[in-house]
Amino acid sequence: MTKTVHRVYIGSFFFITIVATLILSIEGFNYYTTPLVDRFFSPLNPLLKPSGLIGHGLGIIGSLMMIFGVAIYMIRKRVRYFHKFGYLKYWLEFHIFLCTLGPILILFHTAFKFGGIVSVSFWSMVAVVISGAVGKFIYTQVPHTIQGQMISLNELNSLSANLSYELKNEFQLSEKILFRIDQITSFDRYKRIKFGTSLAFVVQDYFGTKNVMSMLRKELRSAKVHRVQRKRILKTAKDKLVISRRIGFLNTTQKVLKYWHVIHLPFAIIMFIVMFVHIAVEIIFGYTWIFK
């Protein structure tokens, strides 16, 4: 998949999610903002109530999207036979899309009314979505190949050394700028990070990278480095900075990712158990939607 195709791939997910949310919000605004005691008299009630034609359908579609999204990602990740079907990162992105739009549809299925045992599933779903977003951020901090395999520490060190050689020998920078690049790309500052504060430090350091690169850009301009050359240097320095951060965070982020599963998976399990109980009860009481 080329960069352009990948951008279209990701862009289509954003587009579908935003458009679906806007349509449901606009079309159902009057109904969803009506007090619960008055909704029965709304002309939209037969369609948008949880057991209504549209409301019930949203719940079914949303649930299927979540089940399918989790299932295909787990199968692709764990069953060796399916490893040949596309890179894992693309499947993860599809998993995130389905498990983002699915909960949104389920939210509209509830008509923003939460109660009983179903509320346990709903809030577990919210916890899964939030922890999933956090997990995606942590996942991106652990270096992977495009196939989704983790890169070893030796491979990272080799990449860092190659970038250092490129900065020093190919670009022929001054000692001052080389020292500055070595200073900002050193991973020694990550060695004293404690596990308890690692996540906050990761977030802070991630956004701090932009400030560091901005400072380096100013130094290159003041040194009157040509624009094309400056652009290449900044890209190489940024690559080295990212690799240095990942070397310093490698063990910590792997531990955080491991403990993240301890939080993410139980909520997912609770969500699906209550969801299946809810579906079974609805079928028993005759709420079969259009399937008579």
Q: What is the pLDDT of residues 195-218, one digit of tens each?
A: 566 666 667 766 766 777 777 778
Question: Between the CA of residue 273 and those of 185, 214, 254, 279, what are the distances in Å?
Answer: 47, 49, 29, 10
How far is it, in rounded angstroms, from Cα 194 to Cα 198? 6
Residue 134 clears pLDDT 70, i.e. is over it: yes
Average pLDDT, the chain: 78
pLDDT of residue 225: 74
pLDDT of residue 222: 78
Residue 14 clears pLDDT 80, i.e. is over it: yes
* 3-state SS class at 150: strand
Residue 144 clears pLDDT 70, i.e. is over it: no
pLDDT of residue 147: 47
pLDDT of residue 145: 47
What's the mean pLDDT in 54-72? Answer: 91
Beta bridge partners of 144: 150
What are the DSSP calls for 171-205, one per residue? S---HHHHHHHHHHT-SGGGTT--GGGHHHHHHHH
How far is it, in rounded angstroms, from Cα 116 to Cα 102? 21
CB atoms within 10 A of CB 224: 7
pTM listed for this prediction: 0.65
Residue 94 clears pLDDT 80, i.e. is over it: yes
